[in-house]
Amino acid sequence: GENVEQHPSTLSVQEGDSAVIKCTYSDSASNYFPWYKQELGKGPQLIIDIRSNVGEKKDQRIAVTLNKTAKHFSLHITETQPEDSAVYFCAASIDGTASKLTFGTGTRLQVTL
């Protein structure tokens, strides 16, 4: 089955700096890659996603890039703010409706003042 690896496990940045989280996947058939943000005591929430026919997608301060050849994708957060502090999960799916998601192990992002 699919295996998703995520790095780093923890990341500390100063407010205003950029943060990058990287994931690799094993199944070349994977075609959908969402990113979820989980705040303390809450369930994960989708923040951005990308499909296999797109190389990059941006939404304000958040961007995701996908390299299908290398089977890796990354989350980029620019101009980080304290409210960006959370655990971020990448995921991959091979089915047509993104029903079966395989998640990475998570990255705890801490944005310091």
Partner 1 sequence: DAGVIQSPRHEVTEMGQEVTLRCKPISGHNSLFWYRQTMMRGLELLIYFNNNVPIDDSGMPEDRFSAKMPNASFSTLKIQPSEPRDSAVYFCASSSAGAGIYNEQFFGPGTRLTVL
Look up residue 21 and give its two tokens: 């989280």
- Between residues 32 and 72, which has the closer beta carbon with respect to partner 1? 32
Contact residues for partner 1 (CB under 8 A)? 32, 34, 36, 41-46, 49, 51, 89, 93, 96-106
Q: Give min distance, CB of 17 to partner 1, in A.
A: 26
Q: Give min distance, CB of 81 to partner 1, in A.
A: 23
Q: Give min distance, CB of 16 to partner 1, in A.
A: 30
CB 99 within 8 A of CB 83: no
Which helix (H) or strand (E) segment holds residue 4: the answer is strand 4-7
- Measuring CA to CA, which residue among 37, 9, 2, 33 is closest to residue 105? 9
- Between residues 49 and 78, which has the closer beta carbon with respect to partner 1? 49
- Between residues 20 and 98, which has the closer beta carbon with respect to partner 1? 98
Q: Give min distance, CB of 20 to partner 1, in A.
A: 20
CB 38 within 8 A of CB 61: no
Look up residue 52 and give its two tokens: 């296999």
CB 84 within 8 A of CB 17: no
- Between residues 50 and 77, which has the closer beta carbon with respect to partner 1? 50
